């Protein structure tokens, strides 16, 4: 999962991009990058680390220009190298730089076609570089010294016909302007807005989440539609076009469960309200299955994402809500860390129990989801160590049984605790006295409960194994397992960062 932002302004965009990336920092803490455009030249700074660590004053001063894009990311395999931080750049045609959130499920086939037929060299294992070169090839085929907005949309339409998977893209085309487009199912989020500059001109921003816009004083225009591209030329004229027919409008439901900030609005759906309703639905299920004599003394969230759901759950059950865990905010997310032992150790560094809230009580711990189960097991043990008499556990999401193929580094099926285990078996493994999951239909109802969204459904593949874009078979999942498994990650040589799907080019040169 990554965060992208693009800005077309009447003033220098370096600070605007920096501020927007800090608002999107939750979407990736491994690397950050900014590219700006001025007088036909691109200025780039990217490196491993948090936004505040990557951009020093000396870097900001060099990022000149009134157009720019930015990116934050986390790695999906192994450790990391700044060589694969984004944005990526290709010099022909025009000079194009691109940042991408999502995953191309046909990246390997595209990479081979790019090498064999398009004569384009890939320097990394990133599917984002594949996407950039596909765009560059289609722009090259225009065979024009300068491309109009219609020409650019024609090229993007050709790109759509070649890509499979999920993507939210921002790109700068030197001498032309800012381009953005979204996958035909709208799986990955993308939203744009505007504001008036001091000189009266209109400025535009496009980003992964609305908080990046509103935090910088932009008002929301709308979400980029599935299959739609927007282009802002160097004269700040906004052009939009539906480049391909949208498919079923199905954003990723896990954005609302976990990834997005609660103050974001995505596809006209409030993330905060969705999480409130998740807590309400879960409370109803507890009453149905455990009864009113549920024996819960206190509800405690596992910081931070589950707070909203836990608060509403406690309210509906008329039970005390307490903060029982204090969080060290300088520790990264554990489920993306390479290696079970590192994740296990990180949990104890990340959270510290407050004994006063646990001693002698039956506590209900609420989390947004259960993935591997490693974190849950450690936290439940921490609650017991703090004096809890009984520890119950509730997940605001259904059991995660299948890997994600659209840009979230969900582990392979064999590493998902709910895959192949019943609820009772999971309860026993994580060490809880009771365990309850959200029902999938209740989760969908919680997120979709709005009159203003045009969403037709959701990508729920991690829960039900139904991959919205199709063409995901056992062979692909086996390939993904070979790339994502703990064994594969720890066995990789050197230091590297593999963007959402690693591209295997083994044997391509030999075939030629």
The number of beta carbons lying within 10 Å of the beta carbon of residue 424 is: 9
Total number of residues shown for the chain: 512
Cα of first residue to Cα of last residue in the chain, in angstroms, is 35
The number of beta carbons lying within 10 Å of the beta carbon of residue 259 is: 23
What is the C-alpha separation between 302 and 158, in angstroms, rounded?
Answer: 45
What is the C-alpha separation between 23 and 335, in angstroms, rounded?
Answer: 21
Collapse the DSSP code of 156 into the 3-class scheme (helix H, G, I; strand E, B; otherwise coil) and give the result.
Answer: helix
What is the C-alpha separation between 500 and 436, in angstroms, rounded?
Answer: 31
**What are the Cα distances from residue 345, in Å, to 60, 283, 332, 342?**
36, 32, 12, 5
Q: Distance from CA of residue 393 to its chain's centroid?
A: 26
What is the C-alpha separation between 171 and 98, in angstroms, rounded?
Answer: 4
Active-site residues, by number, are 2
What is the C-alpha separation between 53 and 25, in angstroms, rounded?
Answer: 12
Q: Distance from CA of residue 359 to its chain's centroid?
A: 37
User: Are 104 and 501 in contact, with CB atoms under 8 Å apart?
Assistant: yes
What is the C-alpha separation between 111 and 399, in angstroms, rounded?
Answer: 34
HEC states along 156-222? HHHHHHHCCEEEEEEEEECCCEEEEEECCCCCCCCEEEEEECCCCCEEEEEECCHHHHHCCCCEEEE
Backbone CA torsion sign across 82, 84, 87, 88: positive
What is the C-alpha separation between 166 and 189, in angstroms, rounded?
Answer: 10
φ and ψ at residue 138, rounded to 5 degrees: -70, -35
Nearest to 417 by CA among 367, 457, 451, 453: 367
Locus of tokens 């507890």: 286
Task: Report the run of H or E that residue 177 belongs to, with start and end.
Answer: strand 177-182
Give me 268's structure tokens: 């006209």
User: Are 419 and 391 in contact, with CB atoms under 8 Å apart?
Assistant: no
């Amino acid at each position: 999962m990554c965060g992208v932002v693009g800005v077309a302004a009447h003033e220098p965009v370096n600070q605007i991009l920096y501020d927007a990336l800090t608002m999107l920092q939750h979407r990736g803490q491994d690397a950050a990058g900014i590219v700006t455009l001025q007088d036909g030249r691109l200025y780039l700074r990217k490196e491993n680390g948090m936004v505040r660590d990557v951009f020093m004053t000396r870097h900001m001063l060099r990022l000149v220009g009134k157009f720019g894009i930015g990116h934050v990311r986390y790695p999906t395999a192994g450790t990391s190298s700044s060589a694969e931080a984004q944005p990526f750049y290709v010099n022909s045609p025009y000079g194009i730089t691109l940042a991408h959130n999502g995953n191309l499920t046909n990246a390997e086939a595209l990479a081979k076609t790019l090498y064999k037929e398009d004569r384009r060299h890939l320097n990394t294992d990133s599917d984002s570089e594949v996407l950039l070169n596909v765009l560059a090839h289609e722009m090259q085929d225009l065979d024009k010294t300068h491309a109009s907005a219609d020409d650019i949309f024609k090229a993007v339409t050709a790109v759509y016909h070649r890509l499979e998977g999920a993507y939210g893209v921002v790109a700068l085309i030197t001498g032309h302007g800012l381009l953005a487009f979204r996958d035909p199912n709208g799986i990955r989020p993308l939203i744009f807005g505007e504001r008036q500059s001091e000189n009266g001109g209109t400025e535009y921003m496009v980003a992964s989440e609305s908080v990046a816009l509103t935090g910088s004083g932009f008002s929301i225009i709308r979400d980029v539609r599935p299959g739609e591209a927007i282009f802002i030329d160097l004269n700040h004229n906004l052009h939009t076009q539906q480049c391909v027919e949208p498919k079923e409008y199905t954003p990723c439901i896990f954005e609302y469960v976990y990834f997005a900030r609660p103050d974001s609005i995505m596809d006209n759906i409030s993330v905060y309200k969705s999480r409130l309703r998740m807590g309400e639905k879960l409370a109803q299920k507890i009453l149905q299955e455990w009864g009113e004599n549920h024996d819960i003394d206190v509800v405690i969230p596992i910081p931070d994402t589950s707070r909203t759901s836990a608060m509403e759950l406690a309210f509906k059950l008329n039970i005390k809500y307490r903060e029982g865990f204090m969080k060290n905010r300088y520790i990264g997310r554990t489920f993306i860390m390479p290696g079970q032992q590192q994740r296990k150790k990180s949990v104890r560094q990340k959270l510290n129990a407050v004994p006063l809230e646990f001693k002698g009580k039956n506590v209900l711990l609420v989390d947004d989801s259960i993935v591997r189960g490693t974190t849950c097991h450690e936290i439940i043990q921490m609650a017991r160590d703090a004096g809890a008499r009984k520890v119950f556990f509730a997940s605001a999401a259904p059991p995660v049984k299948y890997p994600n193929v659209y840009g979230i580094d969900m582990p392979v099926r064999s590493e998902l605790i709910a895959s192949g285990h019943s609820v009772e078996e999971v309860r026993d493994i994580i060490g809880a006295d009771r365990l309850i999951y959200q029902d999938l239909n209740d989760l969908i109802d919680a997120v979709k409960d709005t009159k203003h969204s045009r969403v037709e459904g959701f990508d729920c593949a991690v829960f039900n194994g139904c991959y919205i874009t199709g063409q995901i078979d056992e062979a692909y999942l086996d390939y993904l397992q070979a790339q994502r498994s703990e064994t594969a990650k720890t066995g990789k040589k050197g230091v590297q960062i593999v963007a959402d799907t690693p591209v295997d080019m083994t044997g391509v040169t030999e075939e030629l």
